[in-house]
Amino acid sequence: WDTHYPFNATGPGANYQTVIHGKKNKPKACFVSLVRNKEMWDLAKSISSVQDRFNNKFDYPWIFLNDEPFTEEFKKRISAIVPNSQFGVIPTEHWSYPDYVSKERAAQTRQDMKNIIYGDSESYRHMCRFQSGFFFQHPLLAGFDWYWRVEPSTELLCSIDYDVFQFMQDNDLGLGFTITIHEFQKTIPTLWENTRQFAVEHPEHISEDNLLKFISEDGGDTYNLCHFWSNFEVANLNFYRSDAYMDYFNFLDRSGGFFYERWGDAPVHSIAASLFLPRDKLHYFSDVGYHHPPYNNCPFDDQIRAKGKCYCNPDTDFTFRDYACGKQYFNAQGLEKPNNWKDYSK
């Protein structure tokens, strides 16, 4: 397809390596949940679901992160569900204003954006910035190559009988997702402009085999708002630690857009993965039944649902709805959509 300047620049893209540890080649992987003390019960539900539907078989450790210290109560209740867990506090530098950002302008923005979801929230902005640029630098994640993000109030709707991390590692994948969706334009007025400027300055970070087509309908002139919903994300941490990603995050952060607008980590991750990774490093987990309010990824293939003992109604699947970006993803990857996809698009 036709790609326009500056995205027609072809470079190697993100360059990173995963060290294969140990004889058995078991991935160095963990679950990561960023969470507040007050979300303890909603989190308990999510991690029980992941333990029961997947991790009781595979026993990967969990890391819980918070901008405040976790309470004793929180640690006690949560480690009763996942014994193999660690609790970390986020360094202040990763959850505060950089010195070049004006707090006055940030406060004015929150005022101006009060009719947009989370538009008036200061903590939400710190959260999105942390999830964009810092979680993978937390000392508790230092020894890990792979992570799976789990949020409060989410559920796995089917059992997963294979090792998802092993699958990621064996196939040398960068990022896996379950749900795609459009972003609210009003939260990211200048994100695309900044991305284009970054591409002008760093053509070497744009992969030759990128997935630009997923995020742009016009060869890169405009952003179509499509992204991978980041509340579920399985990814190679070394991608985030790569020069390409770090240069991109630092470039974005410098512009102040995390505070002067309301940039989400999901579009940031997704744009980066779509531009800097060869597209065969992205993976849609169509078989993973997943719920984050208010949307479901529910496999509508009867056999997959039976095999996974799913309890979701396939009519609730979000993948091919207009507000999702399943169509864009399948087209961009050159994948054939399931032949009955239209039955699940209304």
Q: Which residues form the interface with ligand GDP (CB under 6 A)? A: 34-36, 39, 66-67, 123-124, 127, 151-152, 231
The size of the interface with Mn ion (CB under 5 A), counted in residues, is 2
Least distance (Å) between residue 254 CB and Mn ion: 27
Tell me: does residue 233 bind Mn ion (CB under 5 A): no
Nearer to ligand GDP among residue 151 and residue 253 (C-beta): 151
The Cα–Cα gap between 54 and 159 comes to: 6
Active site residue 233: yes
C-beta separation of 320 from 337 below 8 A:
yes
Measuring CA to CA, how many Å separate 196 from each of 229, 269, 346? 22, 15, 34
The Cα–Cα gap between 282 and 177 comes to: 8
Least distance (Å) between residue 305 CB and Mn ion: 25
Least distance (Å) between residue 231 CB and Mn ion: 5
Measuring CA to CA, how many Å separate 286 from each of 7, 267, 279? 29, 20, 17
**Residue pointed to by tokens 């993973």:** 288
Q: Which of 151, 183, 253, 261 binds Mn ion (CB under 5 A)?
A: 151
Tell me: does residue 253 bind Mn ion (CB under 5 A): no
- Residue 173 interacts with which of Mn ion, ligand GDP, none, CB < 5 to 8 Å by class: none
Measuring CA to CA, how many Å separate 266 from each of 125, 129, 281, 346? 13, 10, 17, 25
- Residue 241 interacts with which of Mn ion, ligand GDP, none, CB < 5 to 8 Å by class: none
Least distance (Å) between residue 121 CB and ligand GDP: 8
Nearer to ligand GDP among residue 227 and residue 279 (C-beta): 227
Least distance (Å) between residue 131 CB and ligand GDP: 7
Tell me: does residue 183 bind Mn ion (CB under 5 A): no
Nearer to ligand GDP among residue 86 and residue 331 (C-beta): 86
Q: Using CB under 5 A, which of the segments 46-54, 112-120, 143-151, 272-280 binds Mn ion?
A: 143-151
Binding mask 190-229 for Mn ion (x = CB under 5 A): ----------------------------------------
Q: Report the DSSP pairing between strands 146-149 and 155-156.
A: unpaired
Nearer to ligand GDP among residue 231 and residue 236 (C-beta): 231
- Residue 34 interacts with which of ligand GDP, Mn ion, none, CB < 5 to 8 Å by class: ligand GDP
Length reported for the chain? 346
The Cα–Cα gap between 143 and 162 comes to: 23
Measuring CA to CA, how many Å separate 273 from each of 24, 155, 239? 29, 25, 9
Could you tell me the two tokens for 64? Answer: 């819980």
C-beta separation of 76 from 56 below 8 A:
no
The active-site residue out of 193, 233, 261, 336 is: 233
C-beta separation of 181 from 323 below 8 A:
yes
Q: Which chain residues interact with Mn ion by CB under 5 A?
A: 151, 231
**Residues with active-site annotation:** 233
